[in-house]
């Protein structure tokens, strides 16, 4: 009986187009880290690229963790992913100049907006956070 309930609770779901867009935007941001390193192939440039990669990876892992606990059919979920995708796209566009002229754009776009995913307060169960 418990096994049947466990299998029903872990039913697979399909990835939505907005989630795929979100993934592609993060891939773009990661590729921009290589552009940052290509412009300054020194140890200092490597350190800056590593720092930028760590920030992009941290944002990606935070979004993955928090959105896995959400109801993928919720309008708020899709809206937050769309806003997050736009902001990470701006981060990616600013990354090659993040330690120069594009630093302000990078910092502003990277700051989490108030409605961005946060760790759910419902113990990590689906639907406990963004509604």
Which pLDDT tens digit goes with each residue over 60-106?
Answer: 888 788 777 777 677 787 888 888 888 888 888 888 887 887 778 77
Write the pLDDT tens digit of every residue in 28-52. 989 988 888 888 889 998 998 998 8
pTM of the model: 0.67
- Helix 17-39 and helix 43-67: axis angle, to 10°? 170
CB within 8 Å of 79: residues ≥ 6 apart: 115
- Rounded to whole angstroms, the Cα distance separating 11 from 100 reads 47
């Amino acid at each position: 009986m418990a096994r049947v309930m466990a299998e029903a609770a872990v039913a697979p779901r399909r990835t939505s187009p907005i989630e795929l867009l979100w993934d592609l935007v993060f891939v773009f941001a990661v590729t921009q880290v290589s552009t940052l390193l290509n412009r300054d192939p020194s140890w200092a440039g490597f350190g800056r690229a590593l720092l930028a990669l760590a920030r992009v990876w941290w944002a990606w892992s935070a979004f993955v963790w928090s959105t896995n606990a959400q109801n993928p059919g919720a309008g708020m979920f899709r809206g937050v992913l769309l806003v997050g995708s736009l902001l990470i796209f701006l981060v990616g566009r600013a990354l090659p100049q993040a330690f120069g002229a594009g630093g302000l754009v990078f910092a502003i776009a990277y700051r989490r907006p108030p409605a961005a995913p946060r760790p759910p307060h419902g113990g990590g169960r689906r639907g406990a956070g963004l509604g």
